[in-house]
Amino acid sequence: MSIASVHPSASTMPENGTMDSTQPRPDQPRRRTIAPAQKLAYLQGYENAIQSGEGRGYLRANALYSSQIVEWRRLRDAGILDGNTPSNSTKSGGKLSKEQTEIARLKKQLAASEQKLATTQTALDIMGKAHALLEQISKSADSK
């Protein structure tokens, strides 16, 4: 019994016993590539799905992983997915530089602070209205 009859790819192996890794094997699936515009669309769709509580279902339906979403958010926040790719990010294999990481962190912190400010302003508006209502109730009770 020959090796080729046991393992079909054994006949393509060179005599020195090493495999040529430059040629894709036909039995292996090809890795899909996702363009930056598609990544932004997936992020938007995922964030909309999160609002309705369907985040995990969205990931399953689109064959995505939560780790991809985390990475794409980081790239979006650094401005890389918008087409503003800095020259040094391509040299390092798409990884963010220290400055880009700091900018992304500060943008995230700013967004959180703005959200907290909006919440505080809404609470103050509600407290003002509640105070005015209580004063009105107090005046009407005093006049009786």
In this predicted model, what pLDDT tens digit does every residue of 94-129 receive, in sequence order? 677 788 888 888 888 999 999 999 999 999 999 999
Three-class SS string for the chain? CCHHHHCHHHHHCCCCCCCCCCCCCCCCCCCCCCCHHHHHHHHHHHHHHHHCCCHHHHHHHCCCCHHHHHHHHHHHHCCCCCCCCCHHHHHCCCCCCHHHHHHHHHHHHHHHHHHHHHHHHHHHHHHHHHHHHHHHHHHHHHCC
Instruction: List, for residues 14-73, the tens digit of each pLDDT value.
Output: 555 555 556 667 787 888 889 999 999 999 999 999 999 999 999 999 999 999 999 998
Domain boundaries, the chain: 33-96, 97-144
pTM score, two decimals? 0.45
